Amino acid sequence: MYDKYLIVGEAFKNVVEGGQVTGYQIGLRLPYYRGVVLSLVGETILTVDGERAPAEAMTVTLRGKTYPKTQFEDEPVAKWEFGDIGIVTVAKPGGLKPGEHKVELRQQMKISYVPGGFWGGDTKTLTLPG
């Protein structure tokens, strides 16, 4: 559910720190009808032009707080609220080239009353500002 709303293009840009492009950012929503604690947000398979963003390189900023993706499973209190756009930052020296990119997402949700959990997904072609 909500699949076509998962990738939020408005937030798509390179991240510049100290004059260097250190990675890129994109906005994501969850494919679910309620907010959940971060430990229930499963695997985030995010690819740009077929290249997968490693979980180790990913942080998510929610309501002003930033969480490393690899630490989500240790977080049974902080929540990703329903409909909130998480700003995902992917560390990637040099970032992405300006112009069109094919962005694909498969997002796992570990919801206890659904045996095995479930996945949502979205694909968008986005333009990275130069």
Partner 1 sequence: MTSQSKIKRGVTLYSFQEEYFLRQLSLEQIIAVCAQLDIPGIEIIGDQMIPNYPNISDEFVKQWHGWMDKYGRTPVCLDMFLDWNKYKGRVMTDDERFESVVHDIHNAHKLGCTVIRVIHDVEPALLEKLAPTAEKHNVKLALEIHAPSYFDSPLEQRLVEMFRRVQSPSLCFTLDMGVFTKFQPRVASDRFLREGMKPEIVQYLIEAYNTRTLPSSHELGKRNDALPKKILEMGGREADIYWAMMGTHSVYSDLALLRDYLPYVKHIHGKFWEMLPEGREFSIPYDEIVPILIEGGYDGYIDSEYEGNRWIQDAFTVDSAAQVGLHQAMLKRLLGEA
Burial class of residue 50 in the structure, from the number of CB atoms within 10 Å of its CB (0-12 exposed, 13-18 middle, 19+ buried): exposed
> Least separation, in Å, of the C-beta of 79 and partner 1?
6
Which one, 77 or 129, has the nearer CB to partner 1? 77
Phi-psi region of 38 (alpha: psi -120 to 50; beta: other; left: phi over 0): alpha
How do the residues of the chain divide into helix, strand and coil, expressed in percent and rounded to 5?
A: 10, 55, 35
- In the complex, the residues that contact partner 1 under the rule CB under 8 A are 1-5, 29, 33-37, 39-40, 73-74, 76, 79, 81-83, 110, 112-113
The distance of closest approach from Cβ of residue 39 to partner 1 in the complex, given in angstroms and rounded to an integer, is 5
**Minimum separation from the CB atom of position 109 to partner 1 (A):** 11
